[in-house]
Amino acid sequence: MEKEILDKYTKAGKIAAQVLEYGCSLVKKDVLVVEIAEKIDKKILELKAKPAFPVNVSINDMAAHWHPALNDKATIKETDYVKIDVGVHVDGYIGDTARTVRLVGKDDLIICSEKMLENAIKIIKTGTTVGEIGETIENTAKEFGFNPIRNLTGHNLGKYDVHAGLTIPNIKNDSKYQLREDEVIAIEPFCTSGNGLVKDSGKPLIFRWINDRPTRLIEGRKILEMARDKFERLPFAKRWIQKGFSPLKVELSLKELEAVNALYGYKPLREVSGKPVAQSEHSLIVKEKPIVTTSL
């Protein structure tokens, strides 16, 4: 890997780690989730990076892809499992990292997700297979008596591409694919006391540009231009565009843009049995001795 690119990955990773640390410190009783999201947005810019995706603040059985709308009233409760998943980029090079916070203290579920990640990272080097990673993660969950989430996976990180190419299942699988030197990956195990499966739940709060398409509404055209140019084809929050347009026009535009395949909407993902979910995540550059870019 060229030094300049490696430097950008490590810079993005370091900033993501700092933002995650800061985000976790904002989790307090009765705080509005939208306030946490706003402060995280500001922090990323302050540290001279840009969001690679809107911070996911997914609580309890909500496993991923949840982000508050502009006037959302959701607040933090002491027993909540608060998963903060931060993605930032420097010139398109991404750091992606997540942790689970609980105000009453870590329990086995959270410790399990941390161990799943730790054990996976221990075996990662050039040549490790995707099958070995999945098996290590699943075995760790089983030792704690929990289930990994079968349909959420780790992934490659590409330039301006959060889910590039490879998927790395959090369960046993027979993939013989061997990690290559300098491949950039995010390992993100999720565990639950429930079934171990997530399903779409509710309307998307996060979107991403997929195609330029003619639109009926002028607001729709403007939103699509923002998705392409301002948000650089990376995922963006509905909250970010709600600031500039009337609520009705935002709803109609997003609906139209999704229908004509101009935008992709990420639906929030909830655990099917309604049980809490914990998540831990780091980004790595694969080497004989891998670099965890998102460590503090």
Where along the sequence are the contacts to Co ion (CB under 5 A)?
A: 96, 186, 188
DSSP element (H, E) containing 185: strand 184-187
Cα angle, residue 130 at apex, residues 124 and 134 outer, rounded to 5°: 90
Is residue 174 part of the annotated active site? The answer reads no
Closest to Co ion by CB, 186 or 277 = 186
Q: Which lies closer to Co ion via its Cβ, residue 112 or residue 186?
A: 186
Cβ pair 75, 33 in contact under 8 A: yes
Least spacing, CB of residue 57 vs Co ion, in Å: 14
Angle, vertex CA 62, rays to CA 57 and CA 63, nearest 5: 80
Minimum CB separation from Co ion for residue 185, in Å?
A: 9
Alpha helices of the chain — where are they, by DSSP H? 3-25, 33-46, 108-123, 130-144, 218-225, 238-242, 247-259
Is residue 188 annotated as a catalytic residue, yes or no?
yes
We find the least distance from the C-beta atom of residue 87 to Co ion, in angstroms, to be 7
CB-count burial class (<10 Å; 0-12, 13-18, 19+) for 261 = exposed
46 is catalytic: no
C-beta of residue 36 within 8 angstroms of C-beta of residue 72 = no
85 is catalytic: yes
Structure tokens, 42: 């500001």
Q: Which of 41, 132, 219, 281 is catalytic?
A: 281
- Quick one: tokens of 187? 């390992």
Looking at the Cβ atoms of 86 and 224, the one nearer to Co ion is 86
Shortest spacing between CB 253 and Co ion, in angstroms: 28
Q: Nearer to Co ion by C-beta: 146 or 190?
A: 190
Contact 54, 97 (CB under 8 A): no
Instruction: Find the catalytic residue in 107, 163, 182, 251.
Output: 163
Calpha distance 186→280 (Å, rounded) = 10
Q: Which of 96, 114, 135, 183 is catalytic?
A: 96
Least distance from Co ion to the Cβ atom of residue 128, Å: 18
Nearer CB in complex with Co ion: 184/254:
184
Could you list the active site residues? Answer: 85, 96, 155, 163, 188, 281
